[in-house]
Amino acid sequence: MQCIFIGVGEAFDERHPNTSLLARAGGAGMLLDCGFTAAAAYFRHAPEPDSLRAVYISHFHGDHFCGLPYLLARFKEEGRTRPLAVIGRRDIQGKVERLLKLSYRSVLETPSFRLDFHEAGSETALDVAGFRLRFAPSAHSQPCLAVRVEADGASLFYSGDGRPTAETLALAQSAGLVAHEAYHLDRDVPGHGTVDGALDFARQADAQAVALVHIERGLRRNGRERILNRMERAGDLRALLPVSGDTVDIP
Ligand SMILES: [Zn+2]
Ligand SMILES: [Zn+2]
């Protein structure tokens, strides 16, 4: 399995598209989150945009969800016919349909391709397009589900937004790659993770590598050295600070 970092930014970073990951296996793609600035970056960095088979939405903040009108309307405009699975928390279908009604009604009213909705929950395991998905709640300002994606014997954990919980730690066990939000450096503030916390989390999960994403824009701009210092102290753990377009092969 391959992971392409479509975006690595937080909500309002003007330089880095919203955090969004593309998992690829067996010629199929699964997009993890699609925020308002991630959708354009998807078409910039996805090797074969039309090979996308599914989109997972971790929660309904705009920087994770509001790129869907762009993505779906562009697919329709380009004549897509292959169905697309859309996976997310309770009421994913209702929320996506409301968003489309307000923006591009024609995607719903005269569709060129079918949307297949799947509701995710902590007790759910889903098999979609050759990927197995499982979920666990993080600690964020609105309910958010971290996800574990498995294909070809490889595993990718993505936190979505929020601090780690016992459930997300269990979900991330022995993952080939943990992509964790690290909004703050070390300030323990409710609702978001930290660089230190993400490194500790990956170590505790016995992951093979960790990628830090969704870093607060001021910290990313002015605190790069401090972040790299923390990463150097991660010991045997492979720690990455990816940018848009970076690709990681997950063993
Ligand atoms: Zn966010
Ligand atoms: Zn959020």
State in Å: Cα 161 to ligand 1 middle. Answer: 5
Low pLDDT (below 50) residues in the chain = none
Q: Where are the domains of the chain?
A: 2-249
Query: How much is the pLDDT for 188?
Result: 84
Calculate the CA 137 to chain-centre distance: 14
State in Å: Cα 140 to ligand 1 middle. Answer: 10
Residues facing 135 on adjacent strands: 147
CA distance 2 to 159: 17
State in Å: Cα 112 to ligand 2 middle. Answer: 31
Q: CATH assignment of 2-249?
A: 3.60.15.10
- By DSSP bridging, strand 28-32 and strand 131-137 are unpaired
Query: How much is the pLDDT for 172?
Result: 98
H-helix segments, 34-136: 38-45, 62-65, 68-77, 92-103, 106-109
State in Å: Cα 160 to ligand 2 middle. Answer: 8
CB 4 within 8 A of CB 251: no
| Burial status of residue 139 (CB atoms within 10 A of its CB: 0-12, 13-18, 19 or more) | middle
State in Å: Cα 26 to ligand 2 middle. Answer: 30
State in Å: Cα 25 to ligand 2 middle. Answer: 27
Is the overall model pTM greater than 0.85, yes or no? yes
- Phi (first) and psi of residue 201, to 5 degrees: -60, -50
State in Å: Cα 141 to ligand 2 middle. Answer: 7
Query: For residue 49, what is the DSSP state?
Result: G
State in Å: Cα 81 to ligand 1 middle. Answer: 31
State in Å: Cα 11 to ligand 2 middle. Answer: 8
